[in-house]
């Protein structure tokens, strides 16, 4: 396998499946199967999940809500998604632990780096909920931060599109996909991969990012077997 330890970032919106809001159990079950295929082959998997399918702090603020209050709601939304994902993974027979950046001890373990790494070594999938635990951050930043902390080899950002394009492929038919691109080129060309905080943290710590389509069955395992799936952002 190409990578031994991965950090998979799933957006909250991905969990909606065909829905407009909330969680689609069918989509969750599909993700669980995809993840099982790779854990069965010995890949260590950590997951950071977003919360956009339930609540975003920015959306609250645009409706007059205090931003920090909204961000707290957003972080709790990621914990809800984490619990849902944990159930789906365990239904698929994968041992898991949910660790949160904000303490909810009756519900999940607190984030403890050494514990997280030990779980991974033992073959458990570790889901990190609650983002970074701080308002004004995103779950992309949480994904990069946790990936660096647990010494993941790569961050895999599962999205609806199959990689990074020269322009928005939904708007420009002549747009072409990059197989590889450097961090500098992403910045120079003004391409959107992650928010700037998350992207810079990844660049500074030389953590490669692969953007790929998580909704096409088999993509995750193909990517890990070294097939040319998605776009890799590297130094
Ligand atoms: N959030 C936060 N701090 C973090 C991560 C997330 O305050 O470290 C809040 C923020 O309000 C954000 C929401 O949680 O809008 C959901 O996260 P995000 O928008 O990153 O989820 P995604 O877009 O991946 O579904």
Indicate whether residue 11 lines ligand 1 (CB < 6 A).
yes
What is the distance in A from the centroid of ligand 1 to the CA of 225?
31
Give the integer Cα–Cα distance in Å for 27 and 25. 5
Atom from ligand 1 closest to the CA of residue 60 = 11
Indicate whether residue 56 lines ligand 1 (CB < 6 A).
yes
The closest of 82, 68, 30, 73 to 54, measured between CA atoms, is 73
Look at strands 231-234 and 209-213 and give their pairing: antiparallel
The ipTM, to two decimals, is: 0.97
> CA distances (Å), 204 to each of 93, 99, 178, 195, in order?
37, 25, 22, 14
Indicate whether residue 219 lines ligand 1 (CB < 6 A).
no
CATH number of 5-234: 3.40.1160.10
Q: Angle CA(48)–CA(188)–CA(234) in degrees, nearest 5? A: 45
Give the integer Cα–Cα distance in Å for 218 and 39. 13
Give the integer Cα–Cα distance in Å for 13 and 21. 8
Q: Using CA of residue 162, residue 167, residue 168, residue 174, what is the dihedral sign?
A: negative
Is 0.95 surpassed by the pTM of this model? yes
Please tell me what DSSP assigns to residue 124: -
pLDDT by position in tens, the chain (length 235):
999 999 999 999 999 999 999 999 999 999 999 999 999 999 999 999 999 999 999 999 999 999 999 999 999 999 999 999 999 999 999 999 999 999 999 999 999 999 999 999 999 999 999 999 999 999 999 999 999 999 999 999 999 889 999 988 889 999 999 999 999 999 999 999 999 999 999 999 999 999 999 999 999 999 999 999 999 999 9
Domains of the chain: which residue ranges? 5-234
Q: Which residue from 131, 135, 142 has its CB within 8 A of the most atoms of ligand 1, so it is best to mutate?
A: 131
DSSP H stretches of helix in the chain: 25-40, 57-62, 67-91, 113-121, 139-149, 183-188, 196-204, 219-224
């Amino acid at each position: 396998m190409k990578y031994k330890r991965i950090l998979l970032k799933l957006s909250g919106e991905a969990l909606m499946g065909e829905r407009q809001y909330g969680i689609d159990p069918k989509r969750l079950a599909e993700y669980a199967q995809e993840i099982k295929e790779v854990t069965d082959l010995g890949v260590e998997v950590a997951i950071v999940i977003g919360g956009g399918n339930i609540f975003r702090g920015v959306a609250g603020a645009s409706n007059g809500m205090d931003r920090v209050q909204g961000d707290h709601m957003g972080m709790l939304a990621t914990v809800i998604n984490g619990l849902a994902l944990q159930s789906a993974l365990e239904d698929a027979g994968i041992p898991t632990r949910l660790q949160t950046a904000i303490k909810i001890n009756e519900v999940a373990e607190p984030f403890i780096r050494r514990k997280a790494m030990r779980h991974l070594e033992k073959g458990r999938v570790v889901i990190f909920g609650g983002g970074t635990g701080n308002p004004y951050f995103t779950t992309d930043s949480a994904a990069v931060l946790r990936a660096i902390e647990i010494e993941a080899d790569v961050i895999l950002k599962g999205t609806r599109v199959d990689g990074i394009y020269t322009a928005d492929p939904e708007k420009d038919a002549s747009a072409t996909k990059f197989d590889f691109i450097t961090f500098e080129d992403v910045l120079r060309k003004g391409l959107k991969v992650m928010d700037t905080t998350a992207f810079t943290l990844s660049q500074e710590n030389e953590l490669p990012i692969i953007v790929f389509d998580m909704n096409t069955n088999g993509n995750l395992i193909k990517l890990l077997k070294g097939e040319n799936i998605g776009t890799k952002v590297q130094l």
